Amino acid sequence: MIHLTRRATLGLALAAGGAAAQPAWPDRPIRILAPYPPGGQTDLVSRWLAEQLRPAFPQPVLVENRAGAQGMIGTQAALAAPADGTTLLYVNASTTLINPVIHASPGYDTFRDMQPLVQFGTAALVLAVRPDRGIATLADLLAEARQRPAQLSYASFGIGSASHLYGAMLETVADVRMVHVPYRGSAPAVLDVVAGNAFVSINDEAVTVPQVKEGRLLPLAVTGPARIDTLPEVPTFVELGYRGGLELLGYNGLVLRAGTPPALVERLAAAILPVLRTPEGRAKIRELGLVPTSLGPAEFAAQMRADAPVWAAAARASGARVE
């Protein structure tokens, strides 16, 4: 039997008391800050994940939409919050790798201010028009654009977004001129094309495919290196002879503010990754328009660094610039 001296016993008691006095984490609700409006892919993924995570924490997991300025308003708000692990920022290639290149003052530096947490998956965008436009193929669309220079409009999910950039890339490689119409997210952009207020949509698979299935939109091409299984009959831009960045894939994920304690980064990743990696989780992520990757903090950080120069080069080549 081990006998403790009175001093040792007192020391253990004080240590136990100190540990008990430490506040439980989290001591406030966890926020997933979605920098786009309700109804789009960002919002849908965020709300599904929040629901899955609620049993894992003693505090509520909430979603807050903070849209505007191509995700920069919400991004800046999240990065101004305390680095205590209670504010998770939804990010994509637009907010992390494109905004800092084409905006004169984005208000943040991705690799200085963000701690990658998890990557949900990669994302292709779909170019589509209304079926009654008399356009059946991408070649038809480009022929119409050449006959009517600077008259056809394309709806993107924001100035400086990946969808804006893909439109600018297409204009460059196909030698056409269209009018860019930015929206505060994919949902309003797609709905305005369906309503006939814009001619072309270049937007998220998650928002576009339901409109295709209902017969309200006709898809002509998809971005990325390969076709997508939700629209297997639709060719990629690459297949149709157009690259110039149209072969790139975006991504979606979560980051924390840089300086978040590593133990909290690990705890959050340990709660989220098992959800994403179950068959049900992978199926749901795919249903929401992403090809699941389920990367952890180190892998996501490496992917972002690898993708950064590619997107930066494409952004500069497109000529897109926001002062």
Burial (Cβ within 10 Å: 0-12, 13-18, ≥19) of residue 114: buried
Q: What's residue 22's pLDDT? A: 54
Contact 146, 171 (CB under 8 A): no
Mean pLDDT of all residues in 173-183: 95
Contacts of 14 (CB under 8 A, 6+ apart): none
Mean pLDDT of all residues in 81-109: 94
Q: What's residue 323's pLDDT? A: 72
Whole-number percent of the chain with pLDDT over 70: 93
Which region among 9-13, 79-83, 125-129, 233-237 has the lowest average model confidence (pLDDT)? 9-13
Match 């008691």 to its residue by tokens.
13
Q: Where are the beta strands (DSSP E) in 197-272?
A: 200-204, 218-222, 250-257
pLDDT grade for 17, boundaries at 50, 70 and 90 = very low
Q: What's residue 7's pLDDT? A: 40
Of 226 and 159, more confident: 226
Adjacency order of strands within the sheet including 200-204: 179-182, 153-156, 200-204, 125-129, 218-222
Q: Is the model's pLDDT at 4 over the cut of 50?
A: no
Show me where the domains of the chain are located: 30-122+250-318, 125-222
Which region among 13-17, 171-175, 193-197 has the lowest average model confidence (pLDDT)? 13-17
Rounded CA-CA distance 59/86 in Å is 10
Contact 202, 127 (CB under 8 A): yes
Mean pLDDT of all residues in 55-63: 96
- Yes or no: domain 30-122+250-318 corresponds to CATH 3.30.70.20: no
Q: In this structure, are strands 200-204 and 153-156 parallel, antiparallel, or unpaired? A: parallel
Q: What's residue 69's pLDDT? A: 86
pLDDT grade for 104, boundaries at 50, 70 and 90 = confident
Contact 122, 249 (CB under 8 A): yes
Same-fold call for 30-122+250-318 versus 125-222: yes
CATH of range 125-222; options 3.30.300.30, 3.40.1260.10, 3.40.50.261, 3.40.190.10: 3.40.190.10
Mean pLDDT of all residues in 39-44: 90
pLDDT, tens digit, 9 for 90 and up, residues 179-216 = 999 998 889 999 999 999 999 999 999 899 999 999 99
pLDDT, tens digit, 9 for 90 and up, residues 279-300 = 999 999 999 989 999 999 999 9
Mean pLDDT of all residues in 80-97: 96
Mean pLDDT, all residues of the chain: 91
pLDDT, tens digit, 9 for 90 and up, residues 235-271 = 999 999 999 889 999 999 999 999 999 999 999 999 9
Q: What's residue 85's pLDDT? A: 97
